[in-house]
Amino acid sequence: MKYDFETLIDRSNKGSGKWQEMKAINPDVPVGVAPLSVADVDIKLAPEIQEGLIEFLKDDPVLGYTSPKDDYYDAVINWMKNKFNYHVEKDWIVLSNGIVPALGDGVAAYTEATDGVIIFTPVYYPFYKAIENNGRKVVKCPLINNDGHYEIDFDKFEELAKQTENTLLILCSPHNPIGRVWTKDELTKIAQICLENNIIILSDEIHEDLTMPGFTHTPIATISEEVENITITCSAPSKSFNIAGLQGSNIIIKNPELREKLTSQQGKKGFHSLNTISFEATRLAYSKGEAWLDEFKELIYTNYQLVVDFINKNLPKVKVTPLEGTYLMWLDFRAYGLTYQELEKRMQHANLYLDEGYVFGKEGQGFERVNIATPTKVLQAALDRLYEEFKGE
Ligand SMILES: Cc1ncc(COP(=O)(O)O)c(C=O)c1O
């Protein structure tokens, strides 16, 4: 590999919440143990971004208010075109300081006080908050766990969509935490149901670049013009290039009416633009980061295979959910018959700091979400500790 994916960066003194949380649980956690929870990555930044930012600060140290220049928009537009065959125009791009804020803004902008918002559960926990914090109703459409392969319950979805008080779907595509990359057929069915029932689609595609070999991400907006007209695509380089701390996100909305509703909601909070460094990092990522991203995906796939092989061989009671996209694995420990509280304790006892499945909804009880984007040796050591904890049971 050309890039360094083997050095673990200890972030316990760098303001990382997940490292601090781990140290709070166990102040004596051994060196080399890393938390495998929150979706960011303790490896080196792509040198193209690091060196590019250093150059940027050397050349142009004025950090006053900045608007994105055409080269920013060109980088985003070209990435969407080249990676997903998604035609995007400059005017369609609404800036947001993160996808989570955009989800909250979207809920406020596109729904009324008594409306319900549909989500496919288990799902990334801030989806619940985006709905609840705006006083709207969470309408769960639980995914069907078909022997480890998750599928959408289309009958249930249609039934919920038909209820006129449900007006918005927040889609997670690819889906965190169950690792599905929705197929074009599935997305077409989702979109059809939304079109027939006047449901707006707020599509969180933050994991769009992180697909495993054989799987292709389709932005739902590319299904048809009609679908594009009811879709808000939430896109960002933050997961793909590990620059989430910069918060730069692009919310792509072709429909001018929907776009105006979102920007007006952002305006109510006083949001007007992103920070200067974030524009440059996004531009660098999308124009110079592709080779790094390719190797990053290789690391994820290698690590995924390691987990599958290790668990199948040593801990066959754990069921591995196939990983199609994201770097978040979803492991089913229900065969051990532990309560979710007991399971959490066992993980901590093994010095494993993962995301507990229950935080993604009650369907996640008995599951663990593991962030596998870490140096392979760190993951191997975590698997060894897992084995020590559960061997013979
Ligand atoms: C599905 C999903 N959406 C959004 C985010 C976070 O977005 P942001 O940091 O841009 O608010 C994450 C982070 O894990 C995520 O998995």
Of 240, 261, 288, the last residue of a domain is 288
Residue 129 lies in a domain: yes
Residue 259 lies in a domain: yes
Atom 13 of ligand 1, residue of closest alpha carbon = 39
Same domain, 116 and 247: yes
Same domain, 256 and 307: no
Atom 14 of ligand 1, residue of closest alpha carbon = 39
**Which atom of ligand 1 approaches the CA of 238 most closely?**
10
Diameter of the chain measured on Cα atoms = 61
User: How far does the centroid of ligand 1 lie from the alpha carbon of residue 97, in Å?
Assistant: 11
Note the pLDDT of residue 104.
98
Residue 325 · residue 210 · CB < 8 Å: yes
User: How far does the centroid of ligand 1 lie from the alpha carbon of residue 41, in Å?
Assistant: 13
**Which atom of ligand 1 approaches the CA of 249 most closely?**
10
Residue 269 · residue 113 · CB < 8 Å: no
Same domain, 113 and 235: yes
User: How far does the centroid of ligand 1 lie from the alpha carbon of residue 212, in Å?
Assistant: 19
Q: Is 388 exposed, middle or buried (0-12, 13-18, 19+ CB in 10 A)?
A: exposed
Convert the pLDDT of each residue in 313-357 to its tens digit: 999 999 999 999 999 999 999 999 999 999 999 999 999 999 999
**Which atom of ligand 1 approaches the CA of 40 most closely?**
14
**Cis peptide upstream of residue 177 (ω within 30 degrees of 0):** yes
User: How far does the centroid of ligand 1 lie from the alpha carbon of residue 206, in Å?
Assistant: 6
Residue 218 lies in a domain: yes
Note the pLDDT of residue 61.
75
User: How far does the centroid of ligand 1 lie from the alpha carbon of residue 100, in Å?
Assistant: 6
What is the domain count for the chain?
2
Note the pLDDT of residue 391.
96
Residue 252 lies in a domain: yes
User: How far does the centroid of ligand 1 lie from the alpha carbon of residue 125, in Å?
Assistant: 10
Same domain, 195 and 269: yes
Residue 311 · residue 318 · CB < 8 Å: yes
Same domain, 88 and 225: yes
CATH of the domain at 35: 3.90.1150.10
How do 166-172 and 116-121 pair as beta strands? parallel
Residue 104 lies in a domain: yes
Note the pLDDT of residue 196.
98
Same domain, 105 and 254: yes
Q: Provide the domain limits for residue 106.
A: 63-288
Q: Which of 239, 247, 328 most suits a substitution to test ligand 1, by most atoms within 8 Å of the C-beta?
A: 239
Same domain, 330 and 211: no
User: How far does the centroid of ligand 1 lie from the alpha carbon of residue 259, in Å?
Assistant: 21
Regions of the chain where pLDDT drops below 70: 60
Tokens of 364: 């996640």
CATH of the domain at 178: 3.40.640.10
Residue 33 lies in a domain: yes
Same domain, 296 and 280: no
Please give the Cα distance from 150 to 364 (Å, whole number): 12
Of 242, 257, 288, the last residue of a domain is 288
Atom 10 of ligand 1, residue of closest alpha carbon = 98
Same domain, 264 and 208: yes
Same domain, 95 and 27: no
Note the pLDDT of residue 59.
81
Residue 12 lies in a domain: no
User: How far does the centroid of ligand 1 lie from the alpha carbon of residue 369, in Å?
Assistant: 15
Residue 384 lies in a domain: yes
**Which atom of ligand 1 approaches the CA of 100 most closely?**
11
Of 270, 288, 306, the last residue of a domain is 288
Same domain, 76 and 192: yes
Q: Which of 18, 94, 99, 208 most suits a substitution to test ligand 1, by most atoms within 8 Å of the C-beta?
A: 99
Same domain, 218 and 237: yes
- CB under 6 Å to ligand 1: residues? 39, 98-100, 124, 172, 176, 204, 206, 236, 238, 244, 249
